[in-house]
Chains A and B, each alone.
Chain A
Amino acid sequence: MNTLVNIFSQGYMQRALFVSLLISVITPLIGNVIVLKRLSSIGDALSHSSLAGVAIGLCFGFNPTISAIVFSAVAAIIIEYIRYAFPNYSEMATAIMMSFGVGIAAVFSGFTGNAANFDNFLFGSIIATSYFDLYTTLVLSVIVIIVIAVLFKELFYITFDEEGAKLSGIAVKRINLIFTVVTAVVVSIAAKTVGALIISSLMIIPVACAMLISKSYKSNVIISVVFAVVFTVLGLLTACVYDLKPGGTIVLIGIFILLILLGARKKR
């Protein structure tokens, strides 16, 4: 207990905890729409695109978080474009952008100079959470929460029945584009804490857990946020005590809880 108190009395740990909690609130908000639209791979495509942005940023001396946001937002717009060009093969768009992101990241990561810095974005790093990261995450999280709250009903309708939403007069194309850009922003800001390779799991696992017990769409969203917060807090504590990578620990705890819930449902 004393060890934990000592760890969390450190400034960098307080920043990390605060940033992680913000991320654990916004990721399932996005994840609900992604999972229920059966577009789970979009998180992977955008996180790999954000890695490309990180590599370019580190290579040319920009702030990697900002270049990750810009790069994955552009990737998000291209994904939407490809999805509309091939409406029956929308998963093709995510595969194309994922390959493109990996390709760019692989090429530019060789010129970053500081490989450890690039690795921080691959698997996440708590120690690397700066005040800049804290303020960027705070501002962007507030924006994400406002956007999702304002478009909550429309997103529900589009997720449930995109054709019906369009025929009821909802600006489906515009809302899909806004949502994809917001997803890109969330992925990019979360990449540094939990890692680009793991971020999509944090979007999906809490939603999968919530779907096993929720009684409505609204409750599914709330429960998934609660799960994500629990995974994050437990993951951070475990990672600190046993000196593990926090991103991986958070995701493994999430999967462990999901398996318990699946087992409990099977027994019922």
Chain B
Amino acid sequence: MRGRFFGGVVMDVIQVRNISFNYSDKVIIKDLSFNAQKGDFICIVGTNGTGKSTLLKLILNLLKPSEGSIFIDGEDSRHFKSFHKISYVSQKATDFNSDFPATVEEVVSAGLYSRYGFFSFGRKKERREKVFKALRTVGMEKYSKKLIGRLSGGQQQRVFIAKALVNDPHIIFLDEPTVGIDVKAVDSICCLLGNLNKKFGITIIMVTHDISSVIYHSNKVLYLSEDGNAKIMDSVQFGRETISKHVCHN
């Protein structure tokens, strides 16, 4: 099965152990545990307010769980320092300041800043090669000199995926990357993510509302319900259950 076994060993790249999270008095996440293995493509789904983005922020240590612990590549997320191993793509295309005067190349280069400090003048060529490699992967190489605000929502999101790729990460986290993008661009972004997962073995954890366009590429679905509970299942099983529900409703 895709992305599960590397050298015959199952590798857990993310371990979420019994985490809970409350916002004021409301339980958002209750005693959630799941593992993500190297090469997994996991979609986090659920209705509004079920804590999909919150879960992503908890894993990324942008929020602190009230209980439980999270490990990324074996490191406790609270003390995680191997930032080059992970990347994050937000819903940037929807809340992005379109007048921001930055070129596509400048935006993608930003992904490398923590790796290349101020005293790295001699490595400019190496940096640019990495940037152009990432842009080639997402099919945006010819737009490198364009201002990011002049691109369409779908093109901007491809650039943000290139920024996430430029560091050769092991895991990419995406928070509803297809929000506010036209249907054709959504399909092409989902195919791009599927390719990154299959070709390069990058683990993908993606929050999405639009499961139908991405389920073909994913192998697991983490379903968050309104009572704070969660269920992880095989994509095929999830697809079957969702379809059977639709049939019953009709």
Interface residues of A (CB under 8 A from B): 36, 38, 149-154, 156-157, 160-161, 163-170, 210-211, 214-220
Contact = CB atoms under 8 A, between A and B. Distances in A.
Given A167-B60, A217-B102, A153 B107 contact: no
A235 to B, nearest CB: 25
A163 B92 CA distance: 11
Q: Which of B60, B113, B118 has the most CB of A within 10 A?
A: B113
A160 B149 CA distance: 12
A151 B60 CA distance: 24
A157 B110 contact: yes
B100 A160 contact: yes
Interface size class of B (residues with CB under 8 A): 20 to 34
Contacts of B60: 167
Interface of B: 60, 62, 81, 83-84, 86-88, 90, 92, 97, 99-103, 106-107, 109-111, 113-114, 118, 145, 147, 163, 167
A166 B80 CA distance: 12
B84 to A, nearest CB: 8
Contact of B102 (A167, A170, A216): A216
- In order of increasing CB-CB distance, the 7 nearest A-B pairs are A169-B83, A169-B114, A220-B101, A157-B110, A217-B102, A168-B114, A216-B103
A170 B103 contact: no
A218 B106 contact: yes
B102 to A, nearest CB: 4
Contacts of A217: 101-103, 106
Given A38-B97, A165-B113, A216-B103, 6 more contacts: A150-B118, A153-B110, A156-B106, A163-B62, A164-B90, A167-B83
